[in-house]
Amino acid sequence: MDTKFLEIAYGLKGLQINNVEEKEGVIQIEIETKKGNYKCSECGSRDVIKRGTVDRYFKEVPVGLRPVVLKAKVQRLECKSCGLVRQEELKIADKKKGIHII
């Protein structure tokens, strides 16, 4: 599966797919922002330093009868312009919302 699927099916751009697998009947698509597309979520500067990642999970529209979960590798970024360390802004969900997969 290539990134064109993300753009067409879910309206997501600037992301890459790292892995797609099925776990207990659920399609899990692992994604992350393409290198070079990072920017500060506060001021918008692209002058940032990567400071680790955290995984966030999002339910998406099913493909056929199978549920879909996006596993997003979210980058923590330190901005050289404003000095803040924040998670990158994702266009797929509100900043404080996600789901936990067991």
Q: List, for residues 54-87, the tens digit of each pLDDT value.
A: 999 988 888 889 999 999 999 999 999 999 999 9
Task: Report the pLDDT value the prediction gives residue 41, as an integer from 0 to 100.
Answer: 87
Cβ-proximal residues to 8 (8 Å cutoff; 6+ apart), any chain: none
Task: Report the pLDDT value the prediction gives residue 81, as an integer from 0 to 100.
Answer: 94
HEC string of 45-97 equals CCCEEEEEEEEEEEEEEEECCEEEEEEEEEEEEEECCCCCEEECCCCCCCCCC
Which is more confident, 10 or 2? Answer: 10
Q: What is the pTM of this model?
A: 0.77
